[in-house]
Chains A and B, each alone.
Chain A
């Protein structure tokens, strides 16, 4: 009975000072809204990333030679073209193998001379990387087997040579002392982080091996696994083939490394988690500030309503009844703020999800959590003003001017 009365009294009091009440709750609204929006956006973004990894692209693994340690470095077993051939011949998994030889050479054209990163690869490189040729063509398997001196340039190479890509097409250039014909120009791809495909030159693997670098050693072998296989299955198969090629006995360690790209997404997940934690921390501070605001306005309210409190006591309200009335008012203020924040945050999340084409899922646990937390903020910061109200002397409060 008293509880019901206290709730309706609290709602009346909030309604009577509507503008003040709404302003008081703004910090709570912002705090809750940012929690809801962040949790929602975070989960949707994560799901979008996961989906793109599992569905859209096949998994790609990369094999590297082991990093030799100290004196062993000299003896470290390299990865060679023969290793890649062994992987190609193995038919257990319908994977695609792309060995790469990389190195830096000087490129001369006319009077211009630049240093350029050279990629020696197989004809499937273009497709596996998802790159495109906009002018001319990429080299073929026959070009590769014939060790032809043909090259495809990245989109910004022509600019570095102070000419147009059109003018370069079909022209001869000097690459590390070997003459190459430029047969294609790549589409601009943009920097991928540690390398910029636009600034590189692409030549057939065997040409690179026999004519430019003079080595069988490859820098990496990329393995594209169809998504019907897990990365773990693919890793086991790669190990089986390469351990046989490298004559590694049972119990001995691998002398090569396989990098799974999921490590990269793990890192991204970690970054997302840190970012969310940061935002939720800020939201926590916002709720704390909001709580202090509520406490402040409740203290004002108690002072303003001293005579009302005196009257209620004269009519028989106990210490507990007054305490309850003001605590409920503070909690109600915070819950109203929390609910408004949930609506605002969900709206924000919805708009961003629509804009980014993400799946929108109502973050129930975040909603429940943040509204509960808001109520707790109200409870905590409402106790002191409510105690002040309850402890007023009825005789003094009645005559308060």
Chain B
């Protein structure tokens, strides 16, 4: 069964008086539990596609079914709800809140989900343990290495049990050994049944996935 079904999606941007066509009729399906890489050089529309699949943006034309729910017609607040519950983001530059502890960073999606404070703490601690950072919970991002920061970000992405883990160049800012560790973490998650979408321009990284969509 498909968790994501993209059908004839186009995206147009108005750039001054011109209209730029960033996506031109993209269609594909992703099944539950798949580990898929989306590849392409910069400027290929990869980021636009990621924004749409990640519900950060909506397509100009076409349909996007996420868990059999049509997403492209939803309003901003409904999209915020879907990002909160269905999608976990991992970014190239981690995007952690600098003045908050690892624990507080991981708790953030739960706060927006309106979960009880005690539950927030329990679940955030569990997520941090899962990525092997149970002894770094009170550290601020500046006190953590790049690999540790990315693991905090992964814990944050997983804490609300999303349908999809969405990773945008997750190893781009890491050295090869740390990058390898992060990829190993993704494999473990995949083996536990997590659907993962990986966006990258590196062949080696893409090769780790089960299947690659090229742009």
Chain A residues near B97 (CB-CB < 8 A)? 308, 311
- Cβ A12 vs Cβ B100 within 8 A: yes
| Surface stretch bound by B, among A202-210, A295-303, A390-398 | A390-398
Whether A315 pairs with B85 at a CB distance below 8 angstroms is no
Chain A min CB distance to B13 (Å):
11
Tell me which of B24-32, B63-71, B107-115 binds A: B107-115
Given A12-B99, A308-B97, A395-B51, does the pair A316, B84 have CB atoms closer than 8 Å?
yes
* Cα of A316 to Cα of B108 in the assembled complex, Å: 9
- Chain A residues with CB under 8 Å of B51's CB are 395
CA distance A92 to B171 in the complex (A): 105
What separation, in Å, do the CA atoms of A321 and B76 have in the docked complex?
12
Q: Which chain B residues numbered 113 to 162 have a C-beta less than 8 Å away from chain A?
A: 113-115, 117, 156, 160
Interface of A is mostly: helix
Interface string of B40-59 (1 = CB under 8 A from A): 00000001000100101100
User: A394 contacts B56, CB within 8 Å?
Assistant: yes
Nearest opposing residue in chain B for A13, CB measure: B99
Report the minimum CB–CB distance from A318 to chain B (whole Å). 5
* Chain B residues closer than 8 Å to A311, beta-carbon distance: 95, 97
Which of B47, B83, B85, B99 is close to A314, meaning CB atoms less than 8 Å apart? B83
Q: Which residues of B contact A394 (CB under 8 A)?
A: 56-57, 83
Q: Is A222 an interface residue (CB 8 A)?
A: no
Residues of A within 8 A of B83 (CB): 313-316, 394
| Contact partners of B6 in chain A: CB under 8 A | none
**Chain A residues whose CB sits within 8 angstroms of the CB of B85 once the complex forms:** 316
- Asked if A5 CB lies within 8 Å of chain B CBs, one says yes
Within 8 A of B (CB), among A280-314: 307-308, 311-314
**Cβ–Cβ contact B89 & A2, under 8 A:** no
Counting CB contacts under 8 A, is B91 at the interface? yes
Of B47, B57, B99, B112, which contacts A316 at CB under 8 A? B112
Q: Known contacts being A314-B56, A393-B57, A394-B56, is A2 close to B111, with CB within 8 Å? A: yes
The residues in A between 360 and 401 inclusive whose CB is less than 8 angstroms from any CB of B are 393-395, 398-399
**Is B80 at the interface (CB under 8 A from chain A)?**
yes
A45 proximal to B (CB < 8 A): no
* Interface residue A236 (Cβ < 8 Å from any Cβ of B): no
Separation of A399 and B42 alpha carbons in the complex (Å) = 14
Contact A316 B109 (CB under 8 A): yes
- Does B77 interact with chain A (Cβ within 8 Å)? yes
> Within the complex, what minimum Cβ distance (angstroms) separates A301 from chain B?
13
State in angstroms the CA–CA spacing of A197 and B85 once bound together.
90
Q: How many A-B residue pairs have CB under 8 A?
A: 65
Q: How many residues of A contact B (CB 8 A)?
A: 23
Q: How far is the CB of B170 from chain A (nearest CB, A)?
A: 15
Contact A315 to B112, CB < 8 A, known contacts A16-B99, A398-B91: yes
In the assembled complex, A169 has its CB within 8 A of some CB on chain B: no
Give the residues from 1 to 40 in chain A that come closer than 8 angstroms, CB to CB, to chain B: 1-2, 5, 12, 16
Are A315's CB and B109's CB within 8 A? yes
Nearest Cβ distance between residue B80 and chain A, in whole angstroms? 5
Q: Which partner residue on chain A sits nearest B48 by CB separation?
A: A395
Partner of B57, one of A308, A312, A320, A395: A395
Query: Which chain B residues lie closer than 8 Å to A312 at the CB level?
Result: 108, 112
Complex CA–CA separation, A145 to B214 (angstroms):
127
- A317 contacts B56, C-beta separation under 8 Å: no
Is A395 a contact partner of B112 (Cβ separation < 8 A)? no
Whether the Cβ atoms of A321 and B112 lie closer than 8 Å is yes
Q: How far is the CA of A311 from the CA of B83 in the complex (A)?
A: 11
Contact yes or no, A398 B80, CB < 8 A: no
Q: Which residues of B contact A257 (CB under 8 A)?
A: none
Interchain CB contact under 8 A, A1 and B80: no
B57 touches A315 (CB 8 A): no
Q: How far is the CB of B215 from chain A (nearest CB, A)?
A: 18
- Contact partner, A319, options B76, B84, B91, Cβ 8 Å: B76
Which of B99, B100, B111, B160 makes the CB contact (< 8 A) with A1? B111
Q: Is the CB of B80 within 8 A of A313?
A: yes
Listed by A's residue number, 29 A-B pairs whose Cβ atoms lie within 8 Å are A1-B114, A1-B115, A1-B117, A2-B112, A12-B99, A12-B100, A308-B97, A311-B97, A312-B108, A313-B56, A313-B80, A314-B54, A314-B83, A315-B84, A315-B112, A315-B156, A316-B81, A316-B112, A316-B160, A317-B80, A318-B76, A318-B77, A318-B81, A318-B112, A393-B56, A393-B57, A395-B56, A395-B57, A398-B91
